[in-house]
Amino acid sequence: MAAKRVYSFAIAMFCLTACGTTPSTSTALPGDGTVPIATPSTDMYATGVDPASLGSTSTTSGAALDPTATGTAATAGYTLKGIVTDQLGAPLSGAKVSIGAQTTLSSAQGTFQIDKIMDSQIAVTVSLDGYQSVSNFTVNFSATSTVADKEFKLAASGNTTGGNTSSPTPSSAGFTLNATFSPKTFTSVSAMAVDGDTAYVLGVVDNLLIDRNSVCEINARTGEEIATFSKTGFLSWLPKTADSLALANGQVNVSDGKTTWVFATTGSLVQKTTGVRKPNPTTVTDTARKIVYTLKGGTKCEARTASAVTTFDLPDAQSSKAIGLGSDGDVLVLDATRKAVMQYSFTP
């Protein structure tokens, strides 16, 4: 019986040598006397590699994954990340971002990320209640570009151009008249500019029976008069033809179209020069609340938000000429008929 086993072992050794296969360096027989033919080197086990995980080394049954091949991805896959915002750039939370069966929701900051995308060309869909969806947005990946960073801007529903179509007026929205400021008895007002808590009003004030233009500086929150200036000498007030007021570089510029008087905010005349008339501001933007206000027709104001563009009546206004924004977010409107500054609050 022993001789038979030795004979079998010799045949096996001959077969391995003839086929060009070198047996393991360890040729000691196991306990049952069989031969561990083509057993992997013990070095492989020492490094923690499991031979069973190696699989077949043959390539005849299918090519290995090639990141540059159409419709395939690297083993780790591709990544799509980015942000979802409204048309004004404000982040949108809870937007659904889908790539086939892979779906995620945007965070409170509007950001999202989808990993392990196995196709090099994908179609992305982004949706959120109250906004128009983005459908079948194509993104392409490559071997050198495995991560795509995209921004999706969603327009409000019913607003295909992102802010040019009026939406129904919300029943709770509108302008509320808070106060009317008329610190001086103007016989006419012609211009206004607002800088935070201060409003500068250009108008004609009766003084010593001589009508001249003056600049009245008022507190934009309370209407309290701070100062009245523009007198550079007796009978040398600004001419009645001056009808333009603008703020630039911390100075107040008044013009009649030919001459510009430049004042410091303290009221002192800095210089008198040639200049052009600057029109009254009829649009102002509340960047904190992302609302754009525009005067319409003297008695109305358009409020443009990310979700609606609506025109409202301005309570008690008759012929508004200029608009500004106080530091507290209140809208200030100069009314030529009332010869006063109207202070409004807006509820979107």
Per-residue model confidence as pLDDT tens digits over 31-65: 444 444 444 444 433 334 443 444 433 333 333 34
The string of pLDDT tens digits covering residues 218-227 is: 998 888 888 8
Burial class (CB in 10 A: 0-12, 13-18, 19+), 208: exposed
CA gap 18, 34 in Å, rounded: 20
Superfamily of domain 78-154: Carboxypeptidase-like, regulatory domain (2.60.40.1120)
For 77-114, the pLDDT digits (tens) are 999 999 998 877 788 889 999 999 999 999 988 899 99
| Mean residue pLDDT across the chain | 76
Do residues 237 and 212 make contact, with C-beta atoms less than 8 angstroms apart?
yes
CB of 347 closer than 8 Å to CB of 173: yes
Which residues neighbour 342 within 8 Å (Cβ) at sequence distance 6 or greater? 177, 179, 180, 181, 314, 316, 317, 320, 332, 333, 334, 335
Beta-strand relationship, 78-86 and 147-154: parallel
What residues form DSSP beta bridges with 146?
Answer: none
Q: How big is the CA angle at 189 (ends 186 and 192), to the nearest 5 degrees?
A: 125
Nearest in space to 320 (alpha carbons), one of 303, 301, 305: 301
Q: Are 215 and 334 in contact (CB under 8 A)?
A: no
> How many CB atoms are located within 10 Å of the residue 132 CB?
16
Whole-number Å distance between alpha carbons of 195 and 217: 11
Locate 148 and state its tokens: 């795509």
Ordered DSSP codes for 132-160: PPEEEEEEE-BTTB-EEEEEEEEPBTT-T
For residue 23, pLDDT over 50 is answered with no
Q: Could you tell me the pLDDT band of residue 75, with boundaries at 50, 70 and 90?
A: low
The answer to whether the CB of 166 falls within 8 A of the CB of 310 is: yes
Ranges assigned E (strand) in 155-268:
174-181, 186-195, 198-207, 210-219, 225-229, 244-248, 251-255, 259-264
- Residue ranges of domains in the chain: 78-154, 174-347
Average pLDDT over residues 326-336: 93
Q: Is the pLDDT of residue 330 over 90?
A: yes
HEC states along 28-60?
CCCCCCCCCCCCCCHHHHHCCCCHHHCCCCCCC
